[in-house]
Structure 1
């Protein structure tokens, strides 16, 4: 698999990034042994880049996989909500300890909303800059679901890498359109910053048009790598085919498209009711102030497009 440097950093990654949230108890619930095997399998297929976060609670999976991987040839991106020096120190020490590694390749501020949030987290950035000088971090960045968050990465020179949400319909972009996000991504690319995309399939909602959805993101020249969740060998093989050939073998496509899936609502649902009003199938309702799918849900994914917190996903 082709590799590329993330902007002007010296972090060289595969064009496909292993999104590791989907294997955790929050979603597929794989065992550590099963998850580690998939990470190693993907590495043997050429994927040398994994995306995780402190909140995913899956460092143990990656640590187990690293026993069979050349650490110097592997790139780990993790994320933290830390905004003070002490919180940043704790997040870094936790990652280093639980991953059993001497350094983290990419440390991101998680879910940044705007320049104001980044400024509010600057004490953490300053700590990470010192850790970078000490060789404990190779690069610093942010992840965002918002155009304003992407604009913050454009404005803050210390941010070297951005992990933005982008897909053909703009599912999950909280403050604008896909066209607006693409414009900012291109500007950031021109500045020499690294960009790896998230949610090319809109949190699972675009699985029935998987080839078109993936190829849309792959065609964006400003994006260096694409992070996508993988929880089986079939998904790894299918995604590699998408990256390298633009399509899937029909047998894999049938397996994945017809895989039994379900709608989940994260526990941070605000109970705003947007999804209920949007659903023409009456497949989701508010129960005790939380959006809850019912037997009428057809997994169309339209409700996710109006969720202000992107807390609705298909798995």
Structure 2
């Protein structure tokens, strides 16, 4: 396993980060025991970095996994939508309590769009910085789907880590191209800000071009680590082999490709119709101001995701 230093944090992290979203209630809704066993498998394979968030509901899964390893050997970064001292305090206390840990390695402001949204959450950021001084948090930062978010965070001295969306097609980037995003990341990297990417497979929409998609992100020397969701021990094995530069055995590839998947529309969909208008298979219609998928017509091409400005569409 390759390890990199996560910018000014000094953390030595595996270049593959376990994205905990997919095992939780927002996607596969695994039990804490089943989800925890997959995290343990990842740790056994050399992955020492876990990405989670208050929203994901996966703290119990991580707590379960931590029973089988030394806490100090694992880097855990979480996120919340906290905007005030009170909401930041609540989100930190929940994370410490639910994961049964004395500290988190990073706390990020979740899904920041620009300098304006960061300003709106600045009281929470200030609280996280104070908790960093007290040792309850080891680094602070933001996650973002926006180039403007990366640029704004780069200007803030207190920011240690940025978690941006990066994939070969630019799926989920709200305000520009993947090239624009990489340019912004380079500016942050020049200031020694730690960078770990999200959504290398575009929320599952690039799963059919897995090798090409992963080769793209792995070729970017500005990324310290890449968070990818994994829902089985087989997926852990395949991703570890890929990240280490080995071929994935044909039988493992076949097993993963035969996995039943479906198009999922997130609850925050506003029914803007962009996806339904672009779906050549007429598999999406708008019902009660929300996109609804006809599973009989959907061929899981993922093309519709390119047109969703709010990143509501994923293949799980």
Deviation of 1:246 (Å): 5.6
Query: Counterparts in 2 of 1:136-155, with a 5 A limit?
Result: 136-155=136-155
Give, in whole Å, the separation in 2 of the partners of 1:55 and 1:29: 13
Cα–Cα, structure 1 residues 111 and 178, in superposed 2: closer, same or farther, change >3 Å? same
Give, in whole Å, the separation in 2 of the partners of 1:225 and 1:120: 28
Count of aligned positions: 315
Partner of 1:300: 301
Give, in whole Å, the separation in 1 of the partners of 2:139 and 2:203: 26
Partner of 1:208: 208
Please report the RMSD computed on the Cα atoms of aligned residues, expressed in angstroms.
Answer: 0.9
Partner of 1:270: 270
Cα–Cα, structure 1 residues 158 and 232, in superposed 2: closer, same or farther, change >3 Å? same
Q: 2:200 aligned with 1:196, yes or no?
A: no
Partner of 1:261: 261
Mean CA deviation greater in 224-233 or 281-290: 281-290
Could you tell me the TM-score, scaled by structure 1's length? 0.98
Residue by residue over 1:243-284, the C-alpha shift from the partner in whole angstroms, topping out at 9 and shown as x without a partner, is 011642222222222321100101110110000111111111
Mean CA deviation greater in 241-250 or 304-313: 241-250
Partner of 2:281: 281
Partner of 2:162: 162
Partner of 2:47: 47
Partner of 2:19: 19
Could you tell me the TM-score, scaled by structure 2's length? 0.98
Q: Is the 8 A contact 2:110 2:143 kept in 1?
A: yes
Partner of 1:232: 232
Deviation of 1:108 (Å): 0.5
Deviation of 1:25 (Å): 2.1
Residue by residue over 1:145-197, the C-alpha shift from the partner in whole angstroms, topping out at 9 and shown as x without a partner, is 11111111111111110000010000111111111001111111111100000
Q: Is the 8 A contact 2:265 2:314 kept in 1?
A: yes
Q: 2:237 aligned with 1:243, yes or no?
A: no
Partner of 2:312: 311
Could you tell me which runs of 5 or more consecutive residues in structure 2 were left unpaired when the two chains were aligned: none
Q: Is the 8 A contact 1:211 1:248 kept in 2?
A: no
Give, in whole Å, the separation in 2 of the partners of 1:85 and 1:246: 47
Secondary structure of the residue aligned to 1:104 is coil
Partner of 1:132: 132
Q: Is the 8 A contact 1:145 1:173 kept in 2?
A: yes
Q: Is the 8 A contact 1:151 1:184 kept in 2?
A: yes
Q: Is the 8 A contact 1:215 1:246 kept in 2?
A: no
Secondary structure of the residue aligned to 1:150 is helix
Give, in whole Å, the separation in 2 of the partners of 1:239 and 1:185: 24
Give, in whole Å, the separation in 2 of the partners of 1:165 and 1:247: 26
Give, in whole Å, the separation in 2 of the partners of 1:157 and 1:311: 32
Residue by residue over 1:172-226, the C-alpha shift from the partner in whole angstroms, topping out at 9 and shown as x without a partner, is 1111111100111111111110000000001001111101101100110000000
Q: Is the 8 A contact 1:110 1:144 kept in 2?
A: yes
Q: Is the 8 A contact 1:211 1:246 kept in 2?
A: no
Partner of 1:120: 120
Q: Is the 8 A contact 2:113 2:148 kept in 1?
A: yes
Q: Is the 8 A contact 2:2 2:244 kept in 1?
A: no
